[in-house]
Structure 1
Amino acid sequence: MKLDAEIKGKIQRLAAARRRSAHWIMREAIAQYVEREEKREQFRQSAIAAWNDYQATGLHVTATEADAWLARLEDGEDAETPECHG
């Protein structure tokens, strides 16, 4: 992998501080990046599916209903999800 001198130096300094190889630092960074981007893509796909479902059915809850439900959960209540309506 070709890296500019500044990034290469940062990796080498971090590797020395962590008592790891530069290779280990780069592998770890790539693994974390891939995991984060996979989660981001799953979230994006879920949002697209939810939007498509809403467009097809019109079912939804209002922001006020969602906020009230989340507040109850935050308070430790075993609150059921609000009913969707059209």
Structure 2
Amino acid sequence: MTTSIKTDEDLTSRTQQLPNTQQRSVRCCMREVLPRLVAREVVRKSFKREALVSWNAYKETGEHLTGAEIRSWLKTWGTEVASDLPPFHD
């Protein structure tokens, strides 16, 4: 599939300079960049969906952990005294 896009002069100029510094064509650079962009957007969308689920659960139950509780728990990761996730509270 062939696709073309229009860009402003600044982006066009920077895009054309990039392959020169890496000895690759614009097409090669775009084929490398687009999959990364798509993957990043998929992750971002998933993160947002998870955040909304968490927010709705909090609004319904009021159960939560404070930032300090989470940081304290995370500090135990990878240590001999690693602990389980603290219980949620109101």
If the length of structure 1 is used for normalisation, what is the TM-score? Answer: 0.81
Counterpart check, 1:81 vs 2:76: no
**Structure 2: stretches of 5+ with no match in the other structure:** none
Seen in structure 2, the aligned counterparts of structure 1 residues 63 and 7 have a Cα distance that, compared at 3 Å, is: closer
Q: Which residue number corresponds to residue 56 of structure 2?
A: 52
Q: Which residue number corresponds to residue 18 of structure 2?
A: 14
Counterpart check, 1:30 vs 2:34: yes
Question: How well do the aligned residues superpose, as a CA RMSD in angstroms?
Answer: 1.7
Amino acid at match of 1:54: Y
Number of residue-to-residue matches in the alignment: 85
CA deviation string 1:60-79 (max 9, x = no partner): 11222212111222x62422
CA deviation string 1:18-59 (max 9, x = no partner): 121101212322222221121111111111000111112222
Structure with a larger share of its residues in helix: 1
Q: Shift in Å at residue 82 of structure 1? A: 0.6
Amino acid at match of 1:37: E
Question: Which portions of structure 1, spanning 4 or more consecutive aligned residues, are displaced by more than 6 angstroms?
Answer: none
**Structure 1: stretches of 5+ with no match in the other structure:** none
Percent of residue pairs identical = 32
Amino acid at match of 1:13: Q
Counterpart check, 1:39 vs 2:39: no
